Structure 1
Amino acid sequence: MLISSSVIAKNPDMQDKAVMNLFEIGIRSDRDRHFDDVARQTISASVDREAGTLAMYALKRSDNRRQAYMVELYENDAAYRKHLDAAPYTAFAARAPDIIDRKKKITLEPQFLGDKHIIPDERTINNLVVVEVKPEFQTAFKNIVVPEMAESLKKEKGVLAMYAATDTKTPNRWYFYEIYASEEDYQLHRQTPHFLDYLGQTAHMSTSKNAIPVKPVFLRNKGGIKQDPQR
């Protein structure tokens, strides 16, 4: 169950479930700076002005500036639909054909959502990891990873956001998106007992793990999303 005093209802029904999307975006040649500018404008306006738009993050592959990603989080489906009709998105859509040559939407089922209010700087980093979990270990994997993420957010000052979600079309495919205050904070996280325990307990549960090399373009959230791992 998602819990947040300001942005998510305490007892959501199916219509009030949080919506999480991941977009894989191809940027046209010589348009990567245009993408950065439009991403900043769209994200700032959307998160600041739209009550149900909880977080939007623009990333690029660190080894290919023409490959971008957008991670989006909305309070519910109604909030997502409202965003699509709002001025910031329509302005983005009008400029997109000149900047973007490919866009693939991956609809995600949130499994854990937790963040703090993020004010990024030049030290802020993010991770995007895709894990293929063996179907027979889906429940066991979730029961291990969700408490670990909650513990990380609670105990580690440098852990700013942790999101886990599964592909609605391929449920055993897990997407993890994480934000850290710095590379040092990330390395400290990797040495914590709860992270090492997670690694040890789940090593046999996955068939592959793909850490996509990404760097932030623009990160914005309202902050304060929490999930109770016991519910």
Structure 2
Amino acid sequence: MMNMKNSVVFKMHLIETAPDTHDQFLNASRGDMVTAIAIEDGTLGMYSSHQPEDITKNYAFEVFDDEKAYQAHRHSESYQQFDQQLTDVIVKHQVIDLVPQFMEHQDVALNISTPNDLWINIVSIKVAADHLTDFKQVLAAQLDNAIKSDPGILAIYAGTKKGEPTEWIIYEVFQSEENYCKHIASPDHQSYVAQSKEWVLEKKVDQTIGDVLVNRGNN
């Protein structure tokens, strides 16, 4: 499992690419992410995926040990190449800083950069301000038990938007749709849903197609 520290840097990127440039974007992302995980000790996880109905809408999640590690990656040769290759590809790029609330993945390092059948969700939740502590406790207990008991759950990271503690983002990577269905049907998950029902004001689940998903495991 991943040891979460207060220094961890967690970012979500919303990236829109020009039409017919997805392969170029994917190749550049693959080169940067795979290289970063291989040689940068402070880069803990990097994930990219896209909307099923629109491949110009992309998401990327990054996890770094601390700000120093993040800056080291930003100044790395692989990132500079990535940035240069996509000058005319990326038409819109929004970076959202997240405050880590729960971060766990399986012990075995994830190294996927080719077409796959992973089931990846990006869950957006608005929580009632007076129940933030309750929600975090219930959510963390449920997720911790789930990832420890089910190897089909490859990674789950949860964070709140910086400066907006009621706005939660949960990034989930499952081995397959079957694993996802098993997870949401489990008694633990059903209990979490029932307990948090009155605290959750809004919820949206976006299922995405995985492109590059790499992490260091517990190395």
Normalised by the length of structure 1, the TM-score is: 0.89
CA distance in 2, matches of 1:211, 1:169: 22
CA distance in 2, matches of 1:96, 1:21: 19
- Contact (CA 8 Å) 1:115, 1:162: kept in 2 or not? yes
Q: Do structure 1's residue 20 and structure 2's residue 14 form an aligned pair?
A: no
One-letter code of the match for 2:156? M
> Deviation of residue 29 (structure 1)?
1.6
Which residue in 2 is equivalent to 1:140?
134
1:188 counterpart (178, 182, 189): 182
Q: Do structure 1's residue 153 and structure 2's residue 147 form an aligned pair?
A: yes
Which residue in 2 is equivalent to 1:35?
25
1:130 counterpart (113, 124, 141): 124
- Contact (CA 8 Å) 1:63, 1:213: kept in 2 or not? no
- Contact (CA 8 Å) 1:131, 1:175: kept in 2 or not? yes
Which residue in 1 is equivalent to 2:64?
74
1:41-62 deviation digits (Å, cap 9, x = unpaired): 1110111110000000011011
Q: Do structure 1's residue 163 and structure 2's residue 153 form an aligned pair?
A: no
Unmatched 5+ residue regions in structure 1?
A: 226-231
- Contact (CA 8 Å) 2:110, 2:213: kept in 1 or not? yes
Q: Secondary structure at the match of 1:171?
A: strand
Which residue in 1 is equivalent to 2:110?
118
Normalised by the length of structure 2, the TM-score is: 0.94
Task: Tell me the number of residue pairs that the alignment of Structure 1 and Structure 2 aligns.
Answer: 215
Q: Secondary structure at the match of 1:98?
A: coil
> Deviation of residue 73 (structure 1)?
0.3
One-letter code of the match for 1:77? E
1:108-162 deviation digits (Å, cap 9, x = unpaired): 0000000012244722221101001111111110010011110011111211111
Which residue in 1 is equivalent to 2:215?
221
2:39 counterpart (49, 65, 74): 49
CA distance in 2, matches of 1:191, 1:119: 28
| Correspondences of 1:197-212 after superposition (within 5 Å) | 197-212=191-206
> Deviation of residue 183 (structure 1)?
0.8
Which residue in 2 is equivalent to 1:228?
none
1:79-121 deviation digits (Å, cap 9, x = unpaired): 0011011111111111221110110000000000000122447
> Deviation of residue 223 (structure 1)?
1.2
One-letter code of the match for 1:95? Q
Q: Do structure 1's residue 179 and structure 2's residue 173 form an aligned pair?
A: yes
Q: Do structure 1's residue 99 and structure 2's residue 93 form an aligned pair?
A: no
- Contact (CA 8 Å) 1:108, 1:166: kept in 2 or not? yes
1:15-67 deviation digits (Å, cap 9, x = unpaired): xx100000000101211111111111111011111000000001101111100
> Deviation of residue 3 (structure 1)?
5.6
1:145-187 deviation digits (Å, cap 9, x = unpaired): 0111100111112111111100003111000001111111111
Unmatched 5+ residue regions in structure 2?
A: none
Q: Secondary structure at the match of 2:86?
A: helix
- Contact (CA 8 Å) 1:114, 1:224: kept in 2 or not? no
